[in-house]
Amino acid sequence: MEKVYVVGGGATKIDEHWDLSLRDLMVQASERAINDAGIEKRDIEAIYVGNMSSGPLQGQEHLGSLISTWLGIPGVSAYKVEAACASGGVALHSAFTSVASGLYDCVLVVGVEKMSDAITSDLTSALIMADDQEYVAFTGASFVGLNALVYRAYMERYHVKQEDIALFAVHDHKYGVNNPYAQFRKEIKLETILSSPLVADPIRLFECAPVGDGAAALILCNEKKVRTLKHGSLIELAGSAVATDALSINYREDILTLKATRVAFEKALKMARIERKDVDLIEVHDAFTILGVIHLEDLGYARKGEGWRLVKEGEIEIDGKIPTNTMGGLKARGHPVGATGIYQVLEVLMQLRGEAGKNQVSEAEIGLAQNVGGLGGTVTVNLLRKVR
């Protein structure tokens, strides 16, 4: 297996982009990544597009050919990868395997989603496609409703107060302030979160990742191609893994454990030949505050029922035990579904390059990005390592 390097990255700011189409967002992010990598468009041999809902929301599929056309490189291998909210992470894994196998020297992976111009009912219907249509969605369950069941079960089993879980959103907004790509660059108080409207009891509005539009892109190359480029920093994609669980929580032994996270992390660690303690910072998929807490536990950084303690005690701050969501997470940066996994890796890349500004984690050398599809039906874990 060949070594794979992330040599370029670019993104659009996450926002309500009324003046930009799905293709505009993809092209902008891709061109920024290409320029950052210092390559030519003709160097790209394949394109992987992470997206969940362009069909139901924009009436647009066939995204591979769409982006190759508008980037001006027809003939290149290109296709869409879909895995609900993990579409970006799975697209990155697909790109990784194509370079690691020796098939390609240089590829582009781009995640994109345009959500803000959809009416709420259509967006809700699109998001619940991440779960079982025959046995879950037909009951009228929504994605936020399923997360509310998990939230309530967590509080009751572990006797945890909502204010301790909601602190995750306070943490995210603190760091989103300094992220140029973030949708909400504003700090928020716990009192504001707890007084915001209920969406699905007990989840409050300000505990939910927002709706937005955005695209992020990365360039992956092998060692042969890297030698032709001029880069001060060299970042390896040292481990990449995907794992699945039962699609719906009603089929699982424990709805408060995402087994796919544990499996994917162990696979990625083994591939990268590192241990959990070697990781300097992590990006977790906190579509809701409760998920951020549970992910800290399933990744092994806290015992079950105690992930909230890491937040409350400051252990996930940039100078804490395990710096987490150092650029705002899904809550403040935003969550344009199919693009989220790529934004996460881009943010890890910024940290390892020393480009995170006021949010910089000191001497960061290894970073982790966890991207989740549905309520843990699919999980990707990608590990980046600074080589120089």
Q: What CATH number did the domain enclosing 340 receive?
A: 3.40.47.10
* Under-70 pLDDT residues of the chain: none
Residue 119 bridge partners (DSSP):
none
pLDDT of residue 384: 98
The answer to the question of residue 76 being in a domain is yes
Q: How far apart are CA 375 and CA 249, in angstroms?
A: 7
Which residues contact residue 325 at a Cβ distance below 8 angstroms, ignoring those fewer than 6 apart? 171, 172, 175, 282, 283, 284, 286, 292, 316
Q: Do 371 and 88 meet the contact criterion of CB atoms below 8 Å apart?
A: yes
Residues in the chain, how many? Answer: 388
* Residues 111, 11 share a domain: yes
Q: How far apart are CA 58 and CA 127, in angstroms?
A: 14
Concatenate the DSSP letters of all residues of 259-285 into one string.
HHHHHHHHHHHHHHT--GGG--EEE--
pLDDT of residue 277: 97
* Residues 256, 224 share a domain: no
pLDDT of residue 230: 83
The answer to the question of residue 295 being in a domain is yes
Q: Can you give the pTM of this predicted structure?
A: 0.98
Q: Which tokens belong to 252?
A: 């699982």
Look up residue 83 and give its DSSP letter. B
∠ CA 223-228-232, rounded to 5°: 85
Q: Domain residues for 255?
A: 120-210+238-383
* Residues 157, 224 share a domain: no
The answer to the question of residue 192 being in a domain is yes
* Residues 263, 307 share a domain: yes
| Strands 4-11, 281-283: pairing kind | unpaired
Concatenate the DSSP letters of all residues of 317-329 into one string.
STTSSS-B-TT-H
- Helical segments of 177-211, H only: 190-194
* Residues 261, 226 share a domain: no
Q: Do 12 and 181 meet the contact criterion of CB atoms below 8 Å apart?
A: yes
Q: Which tokens belong to 344?
A: 């996460």
For residue 291, CA distances in Å to 33, 75, 166, 208, 250 come to: 30, 41, 11, 10, 17
pLDDT of residue 352: 98
* Residues 361, 278 share a domain: yes
Half-sphere exposure of 118 (CA within 13 A, CB side): 23
pLDDT of residue 79: 96
The answer to the question of residue 388 being in a domain is no
| Strands 46-50, 77-81: pairing kind | parallel
Cβ atoms within 10 Å of 317's Cβ, excluding its own: 18
* Residues 187, 74 share a domain: no
- Helical segments of 38-83, H only: 54-58, 63-71
* Residues 10, 126 share a domain: no
* Residues 178, 67 share a domain: no
* Residues 124, 78 share a domain: no
- Helices 63-71 and 22-37, interaxial angle, to 10°? 60
Which of 174, 110, 170, 211 lies closest to 327 in space, CA to CA? 174
- Which of 185, 219, 235 lies at the terminal end of a domain, its last residue? 235
pLDDT of residue 232: 80
Ranges of beta strands (E only) in 197-265 are 198-200, 203-204, 214-222, 235-244
* Residues 111, 202 share a domain: no
For residue 161, CA distances in Å to 158, 167, 305, 348 come to: 9, 11, 12, 31
The answer to the question of residue 256 being in a domain is yes
Q: How many independent structural domains does the chain possess? A: 2
Q: Which tokens belong to 90?
A: 């799975």
Half-sphere exposure of 38 (CA within 13 A, CB side): 10
Which of 319, 330, 245 lies closest to 283 in space, CA to CA? 330
Concatenate the DSSP letters of all residues of 85-138 into one string.
BTHHHHHHHHHHHHHHTTS-SEEEEEEEE--TTS-HHHHHHHHGGGS-TTTTGG
Which residues does the annotation mark as catalytic?
Answer: 85, 335
Query: At CB < 8 A and 24+ separation, what contacts does 123-127 make?
Result: 123/57, 123/211, 125/56, 126/52, 126/53, 126/56, 126/57, 127/53, 127/337
The pLDDT tens digits for 243-253 are 999 999 999 99
Phi (first) and psi of residue 5, to 5 degrees: -120, 145
* Residues 103, 135 share a domain: no
The amino acid sitting at 289 is T
Which of 223, 208, 171, 169 lies closest to 2 in space, CA to CA? 223
